[in-house]
Amino acid sequence: MLNYELDSQILARRVPVGTELDIWQGRCFVSMVGFLFLDTRLLGIPIPFHRNFEEVNLRFYVRREQNGELRRGVVFVKEIVPKPAIAWLARLVYNENYINMPMAHQITTYGPSQKVTYSWQWHGQTSHLEIETGGPSFLPAEGSLEHFISQHYYGYARQRDGSTVEYQVEHPQWRVWGGTDAELVCDAGTLYGPEFTEILNRPPESMFLAEGSPVVVRRGHRLGQK
C-alpha cells in the first residue's frame, strides 16, 4: 500500500452520495494497492481458472454515519485485474470501475526483508507497483496512518443513476511491515485521470506491506434500502 497525500478538492466530484471524505489528522489520502487473491469463491463456489489472481487499485477513503454507527469505507477510482470475467462481474454487480490487463507478481524474501512487485501491461508498456520492507511485522497502533489506511470495512460505489451501493468487507486487523523503499511506474494521467499525474509521480508519504487474511465481501445494497 503506497499512500499519497492530496488536496481533498481533487476527490470532491468522486465522493458517492451519502458519504463524505474520511480525513486523517486533517490530511486526505489516496492509496495504490496491490492484492493477491487466493482461493477466491463466488457465493461459496470456486470458479475454475478464476481462483488465484492479482489486483491493483487506486482508492480513497470515505465515511458515513448509520444509526449512530460510524462506517468507514473505500471508493475505488479504478481496479485492474487479469481476468475479463472478474472485471465484467464486478461492473455488473457493483458498477465498480474494473478493467482487465495482463498481470504478474513476484515475491522475494531475503532474511527479514521482502520485495513485492505487481506488474501489468498498459498500452504496450509494462507498469509496476513495488515495495521493499525491513524488520518484523506489527499490528498498527490505533490512531496511526497505517491503522487508518487498513481499517476500512465498507466499500461504496456510485451507480449509473447517481445512487450509492454499500457493501461490507470482513477481515481481521492485518499485521504490516514497514516499507523501506517503493516505486510506482505507470502512466497515471492516462490510466486514472490527469488530476493524478503529479500526485502519483512523487514519492509516497507512507508505504507498508500488509500480511492479508481471509476476506469476505458481502452483497451490496443501495443506501436508503434494507
- Asked, for residue 78, whether it belongs to a domain, the answer is yes
Does 222 map to a domain? no
The residue segments making up the domain with residue 115 are 2-216
Residues 104-137 have pLDDT tens digits of 999 999 888 999 999 999 888 999 999 999 889 9
pLDDT of 52: 86
The answer to whether residue 6 sits within a structural domain is: yes
Write out pLDDT tens, residues 49-91: 567 899 999 999 999 998 889 999 999 999 999 988 888 877 8
177: domain CATH number is: 2.40.400.10
- For the chain, the first-to-last Cα distance in angstroms comes to 33
What's the pLDDT at 5? Answer: 98
Any domain includes 186: yes
Q: What is the pLDDT of residue 42?
A: 65
In the prediction, which pLDDT does 65 show?
A: 92
- When divided into structural domains, the chain yields a total of 1
The pTM is what? 0.92
Under 8 Å between Cβ of 157 and 164: yes
Asked whether residue 224 is domain-assigned, the answer is no
Q: Is residue 225 part of a domain?
A: no
What is the reported pLDDT for 226? 46
Q: The C-alpha cell of 44 is what?
A: 461459496
State the greatest distance between any 2 C-alpha atoms of the chain, in Å, as a whole number: 52
pLDDT (mean) for 16-42: 92
With a cut of 70, say whether residue 43 has pLDDT above it: no
In a domain, 12, yes or no: yes
For the stretch 150-183, pLDDT in tens is 999 999 999 989 999 999 999 999 999 999 999 9
Residue 223 lies in a domain: no
Report residue 5 as a C-alpha cell: 497525500
What's the per-residue H, E or C state across the chain? CEEEEECHHHHHHHCCCCCEECCECCEEEEEEEEEEECCCEECCEECCCCCCEEEEEEEEEEEEEECCEEEEEEEEEEEEECCHHHHHHHHHHHCCCEEECCEEEEEEEECCEEEEEEEEEECCEEEEEEEEECCCCECCCCCCHHHHHHCCCEEEEECCCCCEEEEEEECCCCCEEEEEEEEEECCHHHHHCHHHHHHHCCCCCEEEEECCCCCEECCCEECCCC
